[in-house]
Amino acid sequence: MEIQQQRNRWVEYFEELLNRPALMNSPDIEAAHTDLPIDVSPPTTEEIRMTIRQIKRGKAAGPDNIPAEALKSDIEVTTNMLHILFKKIWEEEQVLMDWKERHHIKIPKKGNLSKCENYRGITLLSVPGKVFNRVLLNRDRDQQAGFRKHRSCTDQIVTIRIIIEQSIEWNSSLYINFIDYEKAFDSVDRRTLWKLH
């Protein structure tokens, strides 16, 4: 019975951690304008092929037990199969239910390991679902810098410095807002945050 109690406690802990209730008086924030030049056509075979090549071998499979190695074993066959599937998803605007399933794994940090907060959770997702998501992320706009290859902190510092220097040169007002979300994932109201995006 103790094992079941431990499992229940883990479920309770991660539900609390990842599903914080919204603020009672959440700010009335207007949704950001999103006139973005993003390609909304169905994924192409070239995008899918490139993405399959990007996924790493040797990672744990998700609940569907399809490892990256299976997709990479014959990239052309996999590309054609996923292209048909992705087009269907695109047309129906509905992802597979299997891709919404996930396995939560707990990894110990340091400290007293009898306390849930001394673990961090990772989530194992479907690898084909990750390929679909990566295709979308690869289309991300050029202004996006975080979590992108070849977009370093240095690039962003140089960009902001140029903006500051031009503002000084032109004697114009400039407002800069820096937000640090480190370790805030658990406590940030993500619905409100998305409105700012």
Please write the tens of the pLDDT for every residue from 45-55: 999 999 999 99
Query: Does residue 191 register a pLDDT over 80?
Result: no
Specify whether 45 is located in the same domain as 135.
yes
In this prediction, residues 18-41 reach a mean pLDDT of 68
Closest by alpha carbon to 42, among 81, 86, 6? 86
Chain segment 113-122, per-residue pLDDT in tens: 888 888 888 8
d(CA 124, CA 102): 6
Rounded alpha-carbon distances, angstroms, from residue 168 to 106, 135, 164, 175? 50, 40, 6, 12
Tokens of 126: 């479907």
Asked which of 101, 121, 139 is the last residue of a domain, the reply is: 139
Specify whether 58 is located in the same domain as 3.
no
Chain segment 43-88, per-residue pLDDT in tens: 999 999 999 999 999 999 999 999 999 999 999 999 999 999 999 9
Question: Do 192 and 27 meet the contact criterion of CB atoms below 8 Å apart?
Answer: yes
d(CA 178, CA 31): 19
Specify whether 49 is located in the same domain as 31.
no
Asked which of 93, 121, 139 is the last residue of a domain, the reply is: 139
Number of domains comprising the chain: 2
Q: Cβ contacts of residue 48 below 8 Å, gap of 6+?
A: 79, 82, 83, 86, 131, 135
pLDDT of residue 51: 95
Q: Mean pLDDT, the chain, as a whole number?
A: 83
Q: Give me the torsion for CA of 146, 147, 148, 149, rounded to 10°.
A: 120
Specify whether 90 is located in the same domain as 180.
no
Question: Do 131 and 79 meet the contact criterion of CB atoms below 8 Å apart?
Answer: no
Specify whether 61 is located in the same domain as 124.
yes
pLDDT of residue 190: 63
Question: Do 33 and 81 meet the contact criterion of CB atoms below 8 Å apart?
Answer: no
pLDDT band of 3, cuts 50, 70, 90: confident
Specify whether 28 is located in the same domain as 51.
no
Chain segment 148-182, per-residue pLDDT in tens: 677 777 788 888 889 999 988 898 888 887 766 65
pTM of the model: 0.65
